[in-house]
Structure 1
Amino acid sequence: MDDNYTESSDRGIPTPSLSFITSLLRLAFTILLTITTTHLYGQKVVVRGKVLNARTNEAVEFSNVLVTGSTTGTQSDLNGAYALELAPGTVTLRASFVGYAPESKTITIDGSQKVIVLNFRLQPQQKSLSEVTVRGKRERYRNKDNPAVALIEKVIAHKSQNRKESFSFYQYNKYEKIEFDLSNISEKFRNRRSLKKFDFVFNYLDTSQVTGKVNLPIYLKEAVSNVLYSRNPERKKEIVEGEKMTGLGNYVDNNGIKVYLETLYQDVNVYDNNIMLLSNQFLGPTAPLAPQFYKYVIIDSTDIKGVRCVNLGFSPRNKTDLLFQGTMSVALDSSYAIRKIVMGFSKDININFVTDMRLAQEYDFVQNQGLMLTKDELAIEFNLLKKENGMGLFGQRSVSYRDYLLNQPIDLSRFTGLSTDVDKDAQNRPDTFWAEARHQPLSGKEQGIYAMVDSVKKVPVFQKFMNTAMFLLEGYKPIGPFEIGPVSTFYSFNPVEGFRLRVGGRTTASFSDRMAFETYGAYGFRDKRFKYFASATFSLTDHNTYTYPIKHIQVSVQNELKIPGQELQFVQEDNFLLSFKRGPNNRRTYNQVINLDYLNESKNGLTFNLNVKRIEQTPAGALTFEQSSSDGGTILIPNVTSTELTAGLRYAPHQQFYQGKNYRIPIVNKYPIIQVRFTAGVKGPLGGQYNFQRLIAYANKRFYISPIGYTDVSIEGGQTFGRVPFPLLTIHRANQTYSYQPEAYNMMNFLEFVSDHYGAIFADHYFNGFIFNKIPLIKKLKLREVVTIKSLWGGLRSENRPSPENLVTGQSGGLLKLPTDQTGNPVTFALGSRPYVEASVGIANIFKVLRVDLIKRLTYLENPLAPQGYGIRFRMKFDF
């Protein structure tokens, strides 16, 4: 792969959370510069605290906290925390929950206070209900003869008729609002002198009704759409009519943030067996297997719009597993439908950077035909260190629905095209559109977010700071419409070049929306040779050259030192950290490449690619290109030149990306990725020395297996037709760095195996802590287990084996000897009847970012320099 290739490889599973966190950090950095000390909270005061079990000191979840003599109140969250905003005066608050004696406390609120902390400690007691007896003392939980389990089994048995997909047709109008705030801003932080230039932002501070913490809104995204559904044939379509969001110009990819938020805050159907949230899959509380992993208890009974319901509590048997906890109100009629549900995570769950999550949904009858969602809210609080009272980010998604039409036939022609269509004018709607389209008006604070963020961008101090932050986070230093970088490649070293210096850069969107240029120059002090790269990209769409879907033409030239068979994901080959390698790695080639590329992507996930490339490979370091002479001697061949025409087809349904400046990271989903590429080598034009054809097919898919994690499976196969020397065969992807490469062979040496036909399979299973979560003490570390197996089958046909009769003496079109060491022993091999196999076990989420794998090579141990023992590899990976 050439350095001018700007999309991250689809091989391996990318790390979407890293770019998401990076973007949020940029937003947070912005806010750190936007707070001063001149704001007053106003008349109301926040009263907040926790409701705890007086005996065990554990949180009493979903307890009621009410102001006596009024309807003002709230409910504690999964950590027992609550918050109320009250006017000055003397009030009495009462905390209560079934199975506990209520407690009341009286407080006096005056104008000088900002926050009052008031905790409740409830004494457990026995309380008999008509359905079950709840006892304050802890008893061993059992499914047998448990009326709560009998009730959830009724819910599971009837859920197919209660899902909205039970309707033959439905359609509705949907209004979605996602807001992100910098959360829990402290008084001390607001008093920093360095933030005075941004005092206007301070007017937008607000108090969250969910957490009771002081927040500053930094991001707002609104969308209005029409949703259509047909059961037979099953089709669903969402047409986005309007979309509006804040933006920070070229500093942050607003569309990328939007995509990530849509991935993290997905639509949740509580009847699904598996629920996707925060890029993870959770076993739902109504899944058939749920009673084996959840505990259920009947709390009390209630009345919802004339229907008697039971409040059913549920929680994970193991609090660190990827499961929910909360309460659901189940109708005690023949439907056993869920009328209301509030759920979140245990504070001990094996999820990173999330201190709290709360999902609240309510269902109501629509047109007297069936139940549909009428309330849908999801709130998540993020903190890098998971400190409950630390400064972090708070995101809330609120969705409302109206204009329901049920069981009214829909013309199937309306489902043509993509499953989600965005109107071409969606992002350019006037204020009059939004005044009518919003289901409820924005609050005063929300209305000001757009103007506030736009004002921040114009402050010179902010621009200077963001340029510095971009340099630290991405490694590029902007100079007008050009950026210099990446800094990680300025210096590196290897056995052939010795010390290597490199400097380069690229144009930015401010230079042109339709054209992009990139270049670098490098020099090796040992080989005393200059290397270079230059590319020009021309967009054939109305957006820039990197925004999905891409349609462009790219021209590039390159003269560079390469390692045959090395194919890295997401990093440059001359990254300083990759200079450290195990074993000999001095067999390389100087590649002179001229490349013309046409890429055409479509929103349905289909991509077509045409490429014309001339590659001249010259051996470097200890590598030589040799043929045998008639007298038994050796003839050195100066180079191998090929002219290659390639056509590629890729299908990735529902593919989404986080878009960087000149890179993008695909967001993994449950759908397969399939690629087919055909290359024809042509002898004659542009100096090509060989006629050959190569066909390669690749497929990748993630399989979710809740609650025990997920498996990533990749399969690949290829065939080369024709008679070609080893540099034009398939040189299998090896890795001699100490960085773990997901779809390279980490215990294979560079240039160790070549094939003209092969098949490969990679399988990685991520347990997400399912095993470690059951081990005392270890479970507190939130570690996660990974197991991997990699297998490769292949070989060389007789016509491509460099036997004496195939070494055409002195002819440029002949075969070359396979590489040997200085004593003549072979170091490059063809695969035999055995597959190459390596396996590994790994521990991920060490300090939340580090993965360490212990790898063992299982076959071809007799090859020279083959690693005999175990290898340790490292990988940085940010995940929720």
Structure 2
Amino acid sequence: MHLAGWLIMLMTRPAIAQVPSVFSEITGRIIDQSTGQGIPFASVAVKGKAVGTQADLEGTFQLSLRQPADSLLISALGYQAKTVAISNRNSQIELLPAAAQLAEVVVHAGENPAFRILRAIHAHRKQTDFSQLSGYDYEAYSQLAIRINNLDEHFRQRKPIRAVLQALEKKQGGKQLEELPVFLSETISHIYARQHPQHLKEHIQKTNISSVGITDDSYVSQFTGAGFNTLNFYKNQVSLFKKEFLSPLAAGGRTAYTYFLADTAQVGEYTCYGIDFDPKNERDLVFRGTMWIDTASYALVRIEASVGSVANINFIKQIAIEQTYTMVSDSGRVWLPESTHLTVEVGEFIPHTFGAIVDYLTTVRRPQIGQPKPVDFFTVDVELADDRSQTPADYWPTQREQTIPSATFDQTRAMLDTVRNLPIVRAYTKVGQFLLNGGYLPLWRGIDLGSVYSMWAYNPIEGNRLRIGLQTNNAFSRHWQLAAYGAYGTHDKVWKTGWEVNFIPSRQPLTILSLKHSYELERLGYRQEDIADNSFFRITSRFGAYRQAYYQRETALTAQRDLGSDFTQTAGVRFRAMNLLFPFAINQPAESPNLLGANPTVQSREFFLETRYAPGRLPNRRVTGRRIRRRTTETAPIVTLRYTLGSSSVQGNRLGTYHKWQLQWDHALRWGLWGKTQYTARAGYSPSLLPYPLLEMHLGNQTPFYNRNAFNLMNFAEFTSDRYVSLAIEHKFDGLLTNRLPLVRRWGWRSFVTGKLLWGHLSNENRALMATHDMTGKPIPPIRSLGSVPYVEVGYGVENVFKVLRIEALHRLTYQNKPGNTTFAVKLSMQISL
């Protein structure tokens, strides 16, 4: 996966490449039959379609047709509507004055006349908004394509680029190419939705994908269907590319938009109010455009909305949306989107290279309403038909409904085949796959070498740490995934090794059986599972001082399965042996206590059961580094509950069984122009007797880099608890403040604030278990726990500095006086987002 894949994943919601040229251009002039004078601003619509335009001051119009049509509906205020046949020549169309006029509309002085219509839209929203239906389903045809454009002249002259262009231009008769296709897809799918409870499912029936550099079409197919084109302007926020844009139909739209009632116009078969909307601040996440509202039902019939380059969005020069709605037959007043066309113009990621155009088009067929599927039907969000790539030769031309000539598709696919097979493109594709696959390089077919990012590190215990690893990919097997690594320290002269075997018996529902084993250097309060989703932090954790280090031998067997579309169940057993490298001893819990130490081995055997509730998420089908992708239209929390039953021993002396309960709640709240709030609440409890290496040692961070999962001004292993509650909250203003500062707004910075609190307690029994001296009589530093005052740290800063850098100033408000504690720091992190 190279450029095309990167664009698709970054935006999360697709958008497409070369969607076609027009079929024909129609021009003409509309005049008054009695006077012969042009009728200004008359409406011109394709009959039966929500496609049209408006004449100018002289009555002249020009209309570009993407679909074949036979007649036009011409209308104007004060004139009788007229249907005329489409002609390829410049037509003159005469209208008769109307005997009856539209009913009078009384507008009170001082009120914008558009506000009355907006109030009526809000009053009728429950009847017209399709998302209020108990259920609906429809078939959809989708086109997704990406092409690069605006190739800089210096970029054209680079040797590998010149080789690609010359090969293509030779086939084009020597004509210089201005655009280069990199991705093109067609998809037939069926969408099913229900309201109570809320579920959405897409069954992708057929796909036709051509691309440069994408190797896993089963994964990409999930992003090419109509399920990612669920734009709904009735909602207060419209989600695009993980950004929340304020809808012009939002209840509070008047705070961000200026509205202008243009005129009534005929859109297809409906007489509509035309309302223009303009942003009050173009740097906010808002639209500019026109919407047409049905005069009878106050439903949205058509909307044209765009976002310009001034908006605070990275890499995007322009977004254009055209969406038309149609009244569902026998539904009364319910309207469904009939077609949606989304075009995104992407600017240069790197100066003096190239831009890109992403186009996405979907059309709805055979909608049905009021017949929701049962809840157990929605066991998966996206279902891929096994025969989705198998179609007869004449299948796709008949499915396109002539929206694009088949010759256009054939020509584009031929260009993609030419580009894909060029040696230089194959080489660059491997480089792109290397970057996107975590630094793994293809070694043999089905086997990758890496990761180069973790091949070297340095710390005082290991000295120079040298690491090499291997892992399989889908070319090896789609059911088995293997990985292994070896690392050697030049100072401790100890080999660290690890291997992992994943078996995937089923992908729908996704089921994974995993067996792994490792022998590794670790440190207290810095568990790898706590930082698993932060690859940069995980790599840098191998550098720097290792406080309270230990060698750990671990073996784990886990089974994971998706239960429906919202639940994931995981169960497993784990064996650990921790050979501590620091002074440690405990009081034997017996009538005649003795010391166990001084550098003992702490062992544990655990069984755990975890349930994860994540509604509306689309799981990443890759097993290694599996993560849950959140659909941007969902705001429900993610809840994780974990129970652990285990037994522990120190130096072979069994301490007994123990129990642990952990609960985590992740939630994101979107406030439109006011930004986004994300918070995580965690709670843990263990009533059992445990040596402190097996208790909760809250994750600190003594590096200069920010870690979202850690307390960033807390030292490693500073506090230990057997019961705790924590809250981490972050609010991103998304330019709400910085967009209004004259100098800062030019830089595109975005402000945020953060806060973290931790309440914890350590029982007297676990505190007494820890000895004060080791076997030699040397004092052992006592473990620390929180008192009645919680640990608190707050932060503030800016992100999107140079489009990648986040800078945060942090203050520690409690537990400040102990030597070695940091009460203030500035930490950095990197992120790439729109």
SS in 2 for 1:829: coil
Quick check: 1:871 aligned with 2:831? no
The question of whether the paired residues in 2 share the 8 Å contact of 1:66 and 1:74 is answered with: no
SS in 1 for 2:672: coil
The question of whether the paired residues in 2 share the 8 Å contact of 1:678 and 1:693 is answered with: yes
- What is the identity, as a one-letter code, of the residue corresponding to 1:626? A
Report the Cα offset of residue 666 of structure 1: 3.0
Alpha carbons of structure 1 residues 572 and 174: separation in structure 2 relative to 1, 3 Å: closer
Quick check: 1:780 aligned with 2:743? no
Alpha carbons of structure 1 residues 70 and 265: separation in structure 2 relative to 1, 3 Å: farther
SS in 1 for 2:654: coil
2:133 and 2:537 mapped to 1: Cα distance?
A: 57
- What is the identity, as a one-letter code, of the residue corresponding to 1:723? L
Quick check: 1:482 aligned with 2:436? no
Question: Please, which of 712, 719, 724 is the counterpart of residue 690 of structure 2?
Answer: 724
User: What is aligned with 1:704?
Assistant: 670
- 1:50-85 C-alpha deviation (Å, 9 max, x unpaired): xxxxxxxxxxxx99899999964569xxxxxxx9xx
1:264 and 1:817 mapped to 2: Cα distance?
A: 61
- 1:234-290 C-alpha deviation (Å, 9 max, x unpaired): 766555252314266985544554555679953111211111111111221111111
| Structure 1: stretches of 5+ with no match in the other structure | 1-16, 26-30, 32-40, 46-61, 76-82, 84-129, 133-141, 207-212, 807-814
Q: What is the TM-score with the length of structure 1 in the denominator?
A: 0.75
2:396 and 2:471 mapped to 1: Cα distance?
A: 39
2:820 and 2:663 mapped to 1: Cα distance?
A: 31
User: What is aligned with 2:547?
Assistant: 586
Report the Cα offset of residue 710 of structure 1: 1.0
User: What is aligned with 1:733?
Assistant: 699
Question: Please, which of 225, 235, 244 is the counterpart of residue 272 of structure 1?
Answer: 235
The question of whether the paired residues in 2 share the 8 Å contact of 1:219 and 1:245 is answered with: no
The question of whether the paired residues in 2 share the 8 Å contact of 1:360 and 1:377 is answered with: yes
2:226 and 2:798 mapped to 1: Cα distance?
A: 26
Quick check: 1:156 aligned with 2:110? no
User: What is aligned with 1:644?
Assistant: 606
- 1:195-248 C-alpha deviation (Å, 9 max, x unpaired): 446766558989xxxxxx9433322232223345667x5766555252314266
- What is the identity, as a one-letter code, of the residue corresponding to 2:833? D
The question of whether the paired residues in 2 share the 8 Å contact of 1:585 and 1:750 is answered with: no
1:283 and 1:375 mapped to 2: Cα distance?
A: 21
2:194 and 2:494 mapped to 1: Cα distance?
A: 65
Report the Cα offset of residue 702 of structure 1: 0.8
- What is the identity, as a one-letter code, of the residue corresponding to 1:873? K
Alpha carbons of structure 1 residues 775 and 453: separation in structure 2 relative to 1, 3 Å: same
1:678 and 1:360 mapped to 2: Cα distance?
A: 50
User: What is aligned with 1:326?
Assistant: 289
Quick check: 1:839 aligned with 2:787? no
> After the TM superposition, which residues 91-170 of structure 1 pair with which residues of structure 2 at under 5 Å, given as runs?
145-165=111-131, 170=136
Question: Please, which of 319, 337, 340 is the counterpart of residue 373 of structure 1?
Answer: 337
The question of whether the paired residues in 1 share the 8 Å contact of 2:147 and 2:179 is answered with: yes
- What is the identity, as a one-letter code, of the residue corresponding to 2:583? T
User: What is aligned with 1:498?
Assistant: 463
Report the Cα offset of residue 700 of structure 1: 0.7
> After the TM superposition, which residues 791-830 of structure 1 pair with which residues of structure 2 at under 5 Å, given as runs?
791-802=757-768, 806=769, 815-816=770-771, 826=781, 828-830=783-785
> After the TM superposition, which residues 379-394 of structure 1 pair with which residues of structure 2 at under 5 Å, given as runs?
379-385=343-349, 391-394=354-357
Report the Cα offset of residue 777 of structure 1: 1.7
Pick which of 162-171 and 712-721 moved more. 162-171
User: What is aligned with 1:12?
Assistant: none
- What is the identity, as a one-letter code, of the residue corresponding to 2:826? I
The question of whether the paired residues in 1 share the 8 Å contact of 2:53 and 2:61 is answered with: no
1:525 and 1:776 mapped to 2: Cα distance?
A: 54
The question of whether the paired residues in 1 share the 8 Å contact of 2:213 and 2:429 is answered with: no
> After the TM superposition, which residues 31-50 of structure 1 pair with which residues of structure 2 at under 5 Å, given as runs?
none
SS in 2 for 1:154: helix
1:177 and 1:585 mapped to 2: Cα distance?
A: 53
SS in 2 for 1:696: strand
SS in 1 for 2:664: strand
- What is the identity, as a one-letter code, of the residue corresponding to 2:801? I
- What is the identity, as a one-letter code, of the residue corresponding to 2:236? N
User: What is aligned with 1:554?
Assistant: 514
Quick check: 1:771 aligned with 2:737? yes
Report the Cα offset of residue 184 of structure 1: 3.1
2:822 and 2:792 mapped to 1: Cα distance?
A: 13
Report the Cα offset of residue 167 of structure 1: 6.0
Quick check: 1:536 aligned with 2:501? yes
Quick check: 1:357 aligned with 2:323? no
Alpha carbons of structure 1 residues 403 and 570: separation in structure 2 relative to 1, 3 Å: closer
The question of whether the paired residues in 1 share the 8 Å contact of 2:376 and 2:564 is answered with: no
> After the TM superposition, which residues 179-218 of structure 1 pair with which residues of structure 2 at under 5 Å, given as runs?
179-185=145-151, 194=160, 195-196=162-163, 201=168, 214-218=178-182
The question of whether the paired residues in 1 share the 8 Å contact of 2:586 and 2:691 is answered with: no
SS in 2 for 1:410: coil
2:328 and 2:694 mapped to 1: Cα distance?
A: 65
Report the Cα offset of residue 637 of structure 1: 4.0
Alpha carbons of structure 1 residues 399 and 751: separation in structure 2 relative to 1, 3 Å: same
Report the Cα offset of residue 486 of structure 1: 0.9
Alpha carbons of structure 1 residues 353 and 827: separation in structure 2 relative to 1, 3 Å: farther
User: What is aligned with 2:98?
Assistant: none
- 1:649-695 C-alpha deviation (Å, 9 max, x unpaired): 11212222456683344323423211111111135899683421111
Report the Cα offset of residue 151 of structure 1: 3.2
1:363 and 1:386 mapped to 2: Cα distance?
A: 39
| Root-mean-square deviation (Å) | 4.1
Pick which of 394-403 and 826-835 moved more. 826-835
Pick which of 149-158 and 251-260 moved more. 251-260
User: What is aligned with 2:491?
Assistant: 526
The question of whether the paired residues in 2 share the 8 Å contact of 1:616 and 1:639 is answered with: yes
Report the Cα offset of residue 536 of structure 1: 2.1
- What is the identity, as a one-letter code, of the residue corresponding to 1:854? A
Question: Please, which of 685, 694, 716 is the counterpart of residue 750 of structure 1?
Answer: 716
- What is the identity, as a one-letter code, of the residue corresponding to 1:841? Y
User: What is aligned with 1:811?
Assistant: none
The question of whether the paired residues in 2 share the 8 Å contact of 1:794 and 1:832 is answered with: yes
- What is the identity, as a one-letter code, of the residue corresponding to 1:739? F
- What is the identity, as a one-letter code, of the residue corresponding to 2:237? N
- 1:745-764 C-alpha deviation (Å, 9 max, x unpaired): 11111111111111111111
Count of paired positions: 737
- 1:280-334 C-alpha deviation (Å, 9 max, x unpaired): 112211111111121112334433346543321112211111111111123344x
User: What is aligned with 2:583?
Assistant: 624
2:4 and 2:408 mapped to 1: Cα distance?
A: 30
Alpha carbons of structure 1 residues 627 and 196: separation in structure 2 relative to 1, 3 Å: closer
2:133 and 2:584 mapped to 1: Cα distance?
A: 69
The question of whether the paired residues in 2 share the 8 Å contact of 1:257 and 1:658 is answered with: no
Alpha carbons of structure 1 residues 578 and 448: separation in structure 2 relative to 1, 3 Å: farther
1:644 and 1:777 mapped to 2: Cα distance?
A: 57
- What is the identity, as a one-letter code, of the residue corresponding to 1:561? L
The question of whether the paired residues in 1 share the 8 Å contact of 2:698 and 2:719 is answered with: yes
Alpha carbons of structure 1 residues 237 and 785: separation in structure 2 relative to 1, 3 Å: closer
Pick which of 65-74 and 842-851 moved more. 65-74
SS in 2 for 1:319: coil
1:174 and 1:204 mapped to 2: Cα distance?
A: 35
SS in 2 for 1:499: strand
Alpha carbons of structure 1 residues 534 and 308: separation in structure 2 relative to 1, 3 Å: closer
2:710 and 2:686 mapped to 1: Cα distance?
A: 20
- What is the identity, as a one-letter code, of the residue corresponding to 2:180? L
- What is the identity, as a one-letter code, of the residue corresponding to 2:520? E
The question of whether the paired residues in 1 share the 8 Å contact of 2:187 and 2:207 is answered with: yes
Pick which of 196-205 and 313-322 moved more. 196-205
1:143 and 1:615 mapped to 2: Cα distance?
A: 78
